[in-house]
Chain A
Amino acid sequence: MTGSRYLLMLAALCADGYGIAAAPPHLSQQLPGDSVYRLDTTLTDQDGGNFKLENLSGRPVLIAMFYASCKYVCPLIVDAMSRIDRALSGDEKRAVHLVLVSFDSERDTPGVLKEMAAQRHLDTTRWTLARTDAAGVRKLAAVLGVQYRATTTGEFNHSSIITLLDSEGRIVARTARMSEQDQDLLQSLQHELARNKGAGADPGR
């Protein structure tokens, strides 16, 4: 066995060590090359559980970045995701996952995220609010094309983008329209949901 193969195996074994929803170790080998889930960043959800992006695979995902203390723009991002969600049928709702990842590695602890989920009445069986370290935030922002900068007062100026990922983590569509329904994105999501259902994918995580 070559040294490099050994390292790969070791990496795969380590990746299996993540709690709540560990993906099979071989999964990342099967992901498309342009899948966002190739990013090997560990995130923590509102209940303190660690997961990797690839654990989100298997169903379409709406993902956006935000931070909990944000007063101006972020509530509108959540509103926009809820608006898309509300336009779906009951079956469709159950087959999509909504993910919010915080820019604010310092302050957005799982406790803060959980509180925000409660305040905003977000059903955490379908929504995941997550944090990661500063390096993870940079990488995720890079793959999602989100730009941000910490302000002098400890807030974040950032672009507001909701991204639709297919069941394998490829970017299908995105929108920067936060105050009204983006019909194109909604249609793309419904198309993905139909495609995923047709493929007989298991909607349960």
Chain B
Amino acid sequence: MLAVSAGAAEYASIPGGSFSSVLPPDGKAASASVAAFRLRTLPVTNGDFLEFVRAHPQWQRDRVAPLFADNQYLAHWMAPLRIDEAQRNQPVTHVSWFAATAYCEGEHARLPNWYEFEFVAAADETRADARGDVAWRERILDWYARPSTALLPDAGTGAKNFYGVYDVHGLIWEWVSDYASLMISGDNRDQGDPDLLKFCGAGALSTQDRENYAVLMRVALLSSLKAADTTANVGFRCAMDESGDT
């Protein structure tokens, strides 16, 4: 069993590669490619985040600048520096993109980008890409259908996936570094009328992968958030380049 306690977080090596993303880089069907990187095996927990906040008081909920977090930031904690013991190993939620970004910087890491997350999220316990398996897709969708009022399980209690990463599905949604730009076309031929935002909206999504509802829901949810927003379901984990640099 994995160590969930304090100390250096564990990162799994992800080999990277080309894969078919719901957000093709060219807006059509091109494969996305991901360089080798490392991903935290567990989402950041309340206990982890409490240590961070202790070391960086500007991220306490009673001190954080409104620019960086809304008024629900860490609202589930008992006090600015106090959590319920039962919360310690649960994934932290009610954290903004800014707070998640700052935490990862404190871990000499960064947030994963969307392609990195999607690449790892394609795996089940035994296969790097299980997305073609209808039964697996339905298992994930079951989670999305569960009410979110249920008590959040501890991080790392589920099965680890092909890469040794836990809880990619089934616990929380996760911030990615480029969450705000997922619906923007990556095709430079879409640059045109300067008065229009360079979105292609739903057109950025590949229609070839429309069975992949779970991933599409993730894109839709993340795209609806602002960087200071916090919700009861969105947490995060950190990533690093394979060299260990950020």
Contact = CB atoms under 8 A, between A and B. Distances in A.
B187 A151 contact: yes
Interface stretch (B35-43, B60-68, B124-132, B161-169): B60-68
A35 B194 CA distance: 28
Contacts of B184: 147-149, 157-159
Contact of B67 (A36, A76, A158, A179): A36
Contacts of B246: 135
Interface of B: 25-26, 30, 54-58, 65-68, 97-98, 101, 105, 110, 177-178, 180-181, 184-188, 190-192, 194-195, 197-199, 226-227, 246
B101 to A, nearest CB: 7
B185 to A, nearest CB: 6
Contacts of B65: 33-35, 38
A148 B181 contact: yes
B188 A152 contact: yes
A34 B66 contact: yes
B146 to A, nearest CB: 31
Interface residues of A, number: 36
Interface string A123-143: 000000000000100110111
Given A72-B191, A142-B98, A147-B181, A176 B66 contact: no
Contact of B177 (A4, A138, A145): A138
Interface in A157-172: 157-160
A8 B59 CA distance: 12
A184 to B, nearest CB: 15
4 tightest A-B CB contacts, nearest first: A142-B227, A151-B188, A149-B184, A157-B198
Contacts of A4: 54-55, 57
A141 B180 contact: yes
Contacts of B25: 151-152
A38 to B, nearest CB: 5
A135 B55 contact: no
Contacts of B55: 4, 7
Given A73-B191, A176-B197, A152 B186 contact: yes
A8 B57 contact: yes
A139 B181 CA distance: 13
A39 interface: yes
Contacts of A92: none
A176 B195 contact: yes
Contacts of B192: 72
Given A4-B54, A152-B187, A177 B181 contact: no
Nearest to B64: A33
Nearest to A160: B194
A72 B97 CA distance: 30
